[in-house]
Structure formats: C-alpha cells, structure tokens
Amino acid sequence: MRAEARTRVLVVGADAAAEGWGARAHIPAVLAHPALELEAICTSRAETAENAAARWGARRWFADFEEAVATPDVDLVTVAVRVGLHSPIVRAAAEAGKPVYCEWPLGLSAAEASELAAAADAVPTAVGLQGRFSPAVRYARELLDSRAFGRPLTFTAMQTLARFPVPSGRQWLAHEHEGSGALNVATGHTLDIVEYLLGPTDGIAGASATLAPADVFSDTCESFSWTAADTVAVTASVVGGAIGTVYVTYLADPPGGFVLDVFCEEGRVSLRAPGYVSYTPCVLRVGRRKGTLRTAVVPRRLRDGVLDVEPSANVARALAAFADASHARSHFRPNFYDAARLHGVLEAIRRSELTPLGGCGEHTPRPPAEVL
C-alpha cells in the first residue's frame, strides 16, 4: 500500500537533455525530497516524454498535458514550460482539481496572472518564488519580524549576473514579450525577497533597459538581438515604512551574485549569495550599530536536511511545503494571487520613466573662469 505521506508529482516540462528548468530543478527537487514521489513526466512530444521518464525514473509519461493532469495517480502538478504556455496547463490542472505549482513568471502580464488566479481559485496554488524558502532568508525574516535590530529603516538589494547563453532552439529566452529578461524574472525574484522580509511594496519608481542587445546563439554562433531588459534600477517603499533600492543586471561579468542589506535602528541584517538568490545558498550576517558583522547560525528547526544543491534545493523546500499545505488544506504563500500582485508591481516599474532633463542644462549658469 502506498504511503500516504508521499505526494505523487507530475512534472510538465522536462527534457532528457536537461536543458530546461523542469529537468534542471523540478525533477531533482522531487527526487531529493523524501515526502515527494516522481509519478509522471509530460512533454510536448511522445519521444521526449518517454526518454525523460526513462532517464529520471518516472513511472509514467505523457505527451498530452490534459490527459496527464487528469490521471488519478497524480496528487500535485508542477509547470515548468515557457511562460506563454503556462495558462492552458494551469487551467487544465485546476479543472482536474489538482494542486498546481507554476514557475515564475506566472503569466505574460498582470492581467493574465489575475485571470489564472481566479481560474484556479478552487485548488491550492503555488508560484515558483522559491528564494524565500532558503533557511537563511527565513531566519532573516524572523530576526526582522522580532525587531531584534530595531525597526527596519532602509535597504539595498542587488542581483548582478552574467548574461546566460541562449541556444537557437530556445530563442524565446531573449524576448520581453515571452516573459523573460531582467525585469520579468530576476527583478521579480529579488523584489519577492525584499517583500517577504519587509512587507509589500506600496510605492515604486524605476527604469529598465536593454543596454547590450547584440548577442549570438550559443550553439550556432548566429547573431540575434535581445529585446528583454538586461538592466533594472528601482527605488521602492514598503508598507512598514522602509525605503530602499533594487538593482538587477545581466551584464555583470564576472557576476557579483546577490546582496541584500537591511539597515535597522539598532543594526544591520545582511544576506549574500554567490549567484541567483532563487537557488544559490545564502549566508546571513548580522551586526549591531558601530559593531562588526558576524555570520549568523541558522537554527536547527529551520534547517530541513535538504542539501543545498543548485538549482533544486529551494524548489524542493517549496514543493514539500506546498504539498504539506495542500494535504492539510491550509493557506500557502506565495500563491497565484501573490504572483498577480507582484506582476502588477513589475508593470508599475515598466510604466515608470526617467524624467528627461531636456535643455535645462542650457540655462545653468557657468561658474567663473577661475574655478574651472
């Protein structure tokens, strides 16, 4: 008899070559966690689905997502395909009554994300903003919530990454309208960590740009142009009153990773990760005013035994927590409504524009010659 504690997972979007996020993160996450069981894999073609199932040891494979989500042997569905294909799969899973975990970004717009949240309202939902499940991030939230260092006043967050290679068969990764890029993806993940620690954004202004559009495909060396933003700079305030900045770029070579500093009335809470905050291990450092930062030891109760193997560790933590919440019929965050709200914040950034100075410099008095 099957152990009820094991949640049988269907992964939609996984290739045997392990190029996509489903194969790189979702499947290893399911295989790594004792509470999860890889029941089935679904891809768009029978050959790739069968090969992926054979490689990863799934019991079943499907080339039709509607058939896959309807099978009674599946307890939970994860969706890890390109953003433009999220909607029909999520809707089918919801109609089949299955809890569904969908990768971030949830949709191609805030409107689409809101529609998906409403369409899946009857089932448990989760969105792949897994960075908040890092043990160090969770402990940082506990310290900030308890006011261990006083009230948070200001913050700086930076996610500086090298631009990732784009193969010709996955050229959608380079385009804004496909939900990719520094604004849609990395800024969403970075802002989610800020909001998880400090509270919802209640004011925002910024700019995003594609500063280096020229590139070549990693497999063919054929030239192409990015349309997705590669750099984002934001000033934001949160409901708790803190104000700060968020800076994200894909043009850092070598990359600087993730840095978040929260300056409080009585000290500082600092998170560092060598790469992407969503899946590289974070280190938490804290310090009192006029003191030095020290590495904080994360309490044992927050260390779950999941090995910090990139990029699946935080996905495993998020999936396991979502499975537990689904079984207990308890509220889970971040869910689709959280995702829709975050999409709205990103669209507010997109609507923001730098104020052109125009010819105002023409009217600025020149200093006297002796001080030039």
pLDDT (tens digit per residue) in 312-371: 999 999 999 999 999 988 999 999 999 999 999 999 999 997 778 776 656 556 666 665
Is 9 in the same domain as 137?
A: no
The CATH number for 284's domain is 3.30.360.10
Per-residue pLDDT averaged across 42-57, rounded? 94
Asked whether residue 123 falls in the same domain as residue 145, the answer is: no
The model scores a pTM over 0.75: yes
**Residue-number span of the structural domain to which 291 is assigned:** 133-302
Q: Are 229 and 356 in the same domain?
A: no
- Burial environment of residue 158 by CB neighbours within 10 A (0 to 12, 13 to 18, 19 or more): middle
Q: Are residues 268 and 217 in the same domain?
A: yes
Q: Are 105 and 312 in contact (CB under 8 A)?
A: no
Q: What value, to the nearest 5°, has the Cα angle with vertex 346 and ends 224 and 217?
A: 15
With respect to residue 340, please indicate whether it lies within any of the assigned structural domains.
no
341 is a domain residue: no
Residue 285, pLDDT above cutoff 70:
yes
**Predicted pLDDT at 353:** 77
Alpha carbons 30 and 315: distance in angstroms, whole number: 9
Residue 350 CB contacts under 8 Å (≥ 6 apart), including other chains: 183, 208
> Does residue 245 form part of some domain?
yes
Q: Which phi and psi (to 5°) does residue 322 adopt?
A: -65, -40
pLDDT for the residue numbered 1? 32
Q: What is the CATH number of the domain that holds 70?
A: 3.40.50.720
Residues 107 and 5 occupy one common structural domain: yes
**289 and 216 in one domain?**
yes
